[in-house]
Amino acid sequence: MKRTLAAAALALSTLALSSTMLAACAGFTPLYGRPGVESGLSSIQTIAAEGRGGYLLREQLDDALAYRQGAPAAYKLMLSVNERRFARGVRLDNTANRYELRMSVTWRLLDAKTTAEVHKGLTEVSVTYDSADQPYAAIAAQNDGQERAATEVARKIQLDIATWMAGRKPA
């Protein structure tokens, strides 16, 4: 009898908690469900910065923003990439075996028609990678670090711009 009452009380409290949680979520709209966010992101043309890091970042942003090639761009995203590499791990012979790559990107979102700046930001990322003794492996590790940094910066910029677009009043 006591087990039945305890089970019934547990079921009732679980039901009450779940209905309270559902009520708390009422009115929640995911970021990409907001009017104009998805179409706004896909109308951003990314202008590549100089160097391999700038090229990788533009490539990642075009994928993340789902830029529609051939369609007129509503915005232009201008990028300035600064990469720095620091030795972090040192072997007994005083050569580095681990590096930290810091990618700092200053970006400006411009209206494509008026070239007026509508949003801007600074996004920074740090990644680490091992340095191998073989030259090809060391280059491959450094390239992989650059790709991971560009992917993370692109994700952060996409989120920043999407949040900004979600907070604007629809045109």
- Residue pLDDT, tens place only, 2-58: 555 545 544 545 544 444 544 555 666 665 555 667 777 888 999 988 999 999 999
Comparing C-alpha atoms, which of 49, 51, 53 is closest to residue 77?
A: 49
What are the residue boundaries of the structural domains of the chain, listed by start? 32-167
Partners of 106 in beta bridges: 80, 122
The CA-based angle 63-112-76, given to 5 degrees, is 30
| 67 pLDDT above the threshold of 80 | yes
Higher pLDDT, 147 or 135: 147
In single-letter form, the type of residue at position 24 comes to A
The pLDDT of residue 80 is 95
Token pair 């993370």 in the structure block, residue: 152
pLDDT the model gives residue 10: 46
From residue 22, give the alpha-carbon distance in Å to each of 43, 47, 83, 153: 35, 43, 46, 34
156 pLDDT above the threshold of 80: yes
Q: For 17, how many CA atoms within 13 A lie in the half-sphere containing its CB?
A: 6
Assigned CATH for 32-167:
3.30.160.150
108-144: per-residue pLDDT in tens?
999 999 999 999 999 999 999 988 778 888 899 999 9
CB distance 100 to 146 below 8 Å: no
Check residues 95 and 4 and name the one with the higher pLDDT: 95
Q: Cβ of 150: how many Cβ atoms within 10 Å?
A: 26
Mean pLDDT to the nearest integer, 151-161: 95
Answer yes or no: is pLDDT of 160 > 70. Answer: yes
Q: What is the pLDDT of residue 17?
A: 46
What is the DSSP secondary structure assignment for residue 73, as one 8-state letter?
Answer: P
